[in-house]
Structure 1
Amino acid sequence: MKKAAIVVIQALGSFSILATALPLLTLEEWYVRVFDFPRVQLFFLALFCLVLFLWLGSRNRKRDKLLIAGLVVTVVYQAIQIYSYTILSPVQVQQAEKDGTQEAELSIMVSNVLMTNTEHGKLIALTEDKNPDILILLESDSVWQRAVKSVTSKYKYRVEIPLNNTYGMHLYSQLPLRQKRISYLLDEEIPSIKTFVKLRNGTWVELHAVHPKPPVPTEDPNSKKRDAEIVMIARDISNSRYPVVVAGDFNDVAWSRTTALFQEVSSLMDPRIGRGLFSTFNANYPLLRWPLDHIFHSDHFKLVQIERLPDIDSDHFPIYIKLSFAPENKYEQEEPEPDEDTDEDAIETIAEGMEEAREVKEEN
């Protein structure tokens, strides 16, 4: 029995080491990039295997020592990767003062509704309860558009893109919008939205809603187009003269190198850093969850509240954020800075994505 347990521990430990090493490769294939996602799970798996092997296994053979060393490196490496998204890390976005006024606040709720989900009432009730200034729905088709009309009717300003390919997008706003632009950056079936929203104090904020395809066999065999779309939006933002908010399902985790590149290029900040993971996917599997739905913003804002909301029978939890526009205090926060390789990495990422999109289009 003990021998069988040791074999299982060795197999799981070896898997955690391999799954940690694979994403270090500069390959965009889905079977490599998928291991960007379960950093927390791999940390605990490697730690579990390390403790059990030290307790039950041998430490004398060379291969045993190599396994122990590999597990120690894996635990340390994964801990470094997820550290910023624990309460042990300093926050990147400062907490707003309690005496802030509503005129300077902006609340946003993002929900990937799961197109086939028929429990529309749960989202309606949640929207009524949170009453966000901006409601962004993803995977929303014409059925969803009609089903939630009872709550979205109070949102005077809107951008509606009902699609039946799981990439529909709806943006509803109680605040005025201008220059509403729908773009299909790399795929004629995958929209993104860029608009400007007017805060109650008169400030115009640039707002982007995004939902690129994930690198999975049923969608895209690699991450090139996803990565390129994310970086293209970052490049657009980097030239903005306005406060900026980007929200949506990135189909990428907060700690990936693509998301890090997005922050370096755009200089946008992540309010989750120092506060927690806020894992929104997969709502159906508690042990397999990671943060896929993001809300980034420029350093013009401080954080009032961020919250992962209750289950609405989707495979994603909705996420809610309330920001306070505080430009006079922006220099209290350290925004992400590009390094010497940032521009080159961004150009290469976009070029690879555009080439992939061209090849796919020619094949079809």
Structure 2
Amino acid sequence: MWEIYLILSALLLILTVFPKIPSPHWVFRFPDFGKIQITYFTIITFVLGFIIEKTEYFWYLQGLLLAMIVYHGVVLIKYTPLYKVKKNPQTDKSSKKYHFISANIYQFNTDYEKFISLINKNKPEIFLTMESNGDWENALQVLEKDYPYQHKVTLENTYGMHFYSKMKIEDSKTHYFVADDIPSIEAHLRTDDGFEFVFFGVHPPPPSPTEEETSKERDGDILSVAKRVTEIKKPVIVVGDFNNVAWSKSSILFRKTSHLIDPRVGHAFVSTFHAKYKLFRFPIDLMFHSEDIFIKDLKTLENFGSDHLPVYCEFFIDHYKHDQEERIEQADSEEIAEAEEIIEEGKKEDGDRDAVATED
């Protein structure tokens, strides 16, 4: 039992320390994803320590485990209701409540009807699909009578993206910030009650042993979005499969350089991947918004056959409420310079992706 306790303690220490090492290699970035699970296992190991035979190193290891629990807890508690943030009710100057769904549909998922039923059941004003290819585009044509405005980026490399809206799209464009096969969508929308906002859909590649060796393209892509957001003078929502977690260094840098707010703070993790394994689920489908956007609800919906759960959001716009200004963090000059360097590194990185992906 002592050997198991010792091995677990050593492994948990490694997984805690690795993300602090400033290397983009996936080995050092991947433990960020499992911070919730690492915390649970650290607590279990700490409790286990009290039921095994004590040695001369016991209290040192218990102290180390306790320190790790506190370290992870300080970060994670911000993404729970225990971390209090001010609630913001609508006023007579606010827009109506609007809703969107963001879903990585998993390109090889062919249960089209289940996703269409999800949209028809929840009736969002806008929705975004990621990993959507030509087959998915054809299947979703039945929704176009209800969603007459669209922006489509049809790819077969698992990075296709489709945006559907009941609101008028006044302008839209596809960005390829760091690679010519990794798109982002920028859509300028006008609501029926006269409010304007910009919706960004993003899906950068993940650092992993089976995809990109480093996080350079991912981080360069999302920080390019952050840079673009600062040029826009309208309310902004950025949504998508970030292949990242909100507490990672690059996500924090994104938030600071974009001047956007993370609605998970004071709310919930909203974990989305993997849809089939609840205990090993990571919150990698993220959302950020500007101070004029107020979130009423943010949650996951039921599984429709993908490896990701869809994200559902209810929000309103208000130009006269300034309660959220204090939640915006500003990047300093060093952080801005670091973001620029990461963007350039992302552009230089040559991702090894096939034009047409096949299911393993």
Asked if TM exceeds 0.5, the reply is yes
Q: Which stretch of structure 1 is more off in the superposition, 297-306 or 247-256?
A: 297-306
Q: Which stretch of structure 1 is more off in the superposition, 186-195 or 66-75?
A: 66-75
The sequence identity of aligned pairs, in percent, is 30
- Residues 1:302 and 2:304 aligned together: no
Distance 1:57 1:48 in 2: 16
Give unpaired runs (5+ residues) of structure 2: 354-360
More helix by share: 1
Distance 2:189 2:102 in 1: 16
1:354 is aligned to 347
Distance 1:20 1:306 in 2: 28
Corresponding letter in the other structure for 1:28: P
Deviations 1:74-109 (A, max 9, x none): 111111121111111123x73433x76995333111
Deviations 1:48-93 (A, max 9, x none): 10111122141x423x3332222112111111121111111123x7
Distance 2:190 2:98 in 1: 10
Quick one: which of 79, 82, 102 aligns to 1:88? Answer: 82
Q: Give SS of 1:321's match.
A: strand
- Residues 1:30 and 2:26 aligned together: yes
Deviations 1:156-176 (A, max 9, x none): 110111211111100001001
1:232 is aligned to 224
Distance 2:317 2:17 in 1: 41
Quick one: which of 47, 54, 59 aligns to 1:51? Answer: 47
Shift in CA distance, 326/214, structure 1 to aligned 2, threshold 3 Å: same
How far the C-alpha of 1:275 sits from its partner, in A, is 1.1
Give unpaired runs (5+ residues) of structure 1: none
Answer whether contact 2:82 2:266 (CA < 8 A) is retained: yes
Shift in CA distance, 57/231, structure 1 to aligned 2, threshold 3 Å: farther
Q: Give SS of 1:56's match.
A: coil
Distance 2:242 2:216 in 1: 13
Quick one: which of 243, 249, 254 aligns to 1:257? Answer: 249
Answer whether contact 1:272 1:278 (CA < 8 A) is retained: yes
Distance 1:253 1:330 in 2: 27
Equivalenced residues, count: 352
2:319 is aligned to 327
Q: Give SS of 2:218's match.
A: helix
Deviations 1:9-47 (A, max 9, x none): 221221111100000000110011000101110001011
Normalising by structure 1, we get a TM-score of 0.92
- Residues 1:177 and 2:169 aligned together: yes
1:204 is aligned to 196
Answer whether contact 2:93 2:320 (CA < 8 A) is retained: no
Distance 1:43 1:51 in 2: 13
Please show how residues 189-200 of structure 1 align to structure 2 within 5 Å.
189-200=181-192
